[in-house]
Amino acid sequence: LVSYVHRQLGVVTPRTAAQQYASARAIPRGDLQPGDLVFFRLNGGAVSHVGFYVGNGRFVHAPQSGDRVREAGLEDEYFRDRYAGAGRLWQPDTAAAGSP
């Protein structure tokens, strides 16, 4: 999901969740913006799952390849206990922020 969306936006994205986590600029949870990535360790150890933060403590993710994209909450018990961190592979468009 992340690779597909980023490819549509022209953002180069590493293939796996672990590689994306290692490449992303870390974002404190309190500074999350829609479009940021949220990472999870589903089976302990390494980061193995990623989703897009959409705001209000919610994110979208593809549970597994070929499955339907779903929305979930960072505070949902399953994800809260497996949260590894957040990051950003894109840079906010500062020129657009200063435009009238």
pLDDT at 99: 39
Residue 99 exposure: Cα atoms within 13 Å on the Cβ side? 4
- Kindly tell me if the per-residue pLDDT of 95 is higher than 50: no
Say if CB 75 and CB 32 are below 8 A apart: no
Beta-bridged to residue 49, according to DSSP, are 40
12-64: pLDDT as tens digits: 889 999 999 999 999 999 999 999 999 999 988 899 999 999 999 999 999 87
pLDDT for 1: 86
pLDDT bin (cut points 50, 70, 90) of residue 93 is low
For the beta carbon of residue 61, count every other beta carbon within 10 angstroms: 20
- Mean pLDDT across the stretch 58-75? 91
Inter-CA distances, 98 with 11, 33, 93, Å: 22, 18, 9
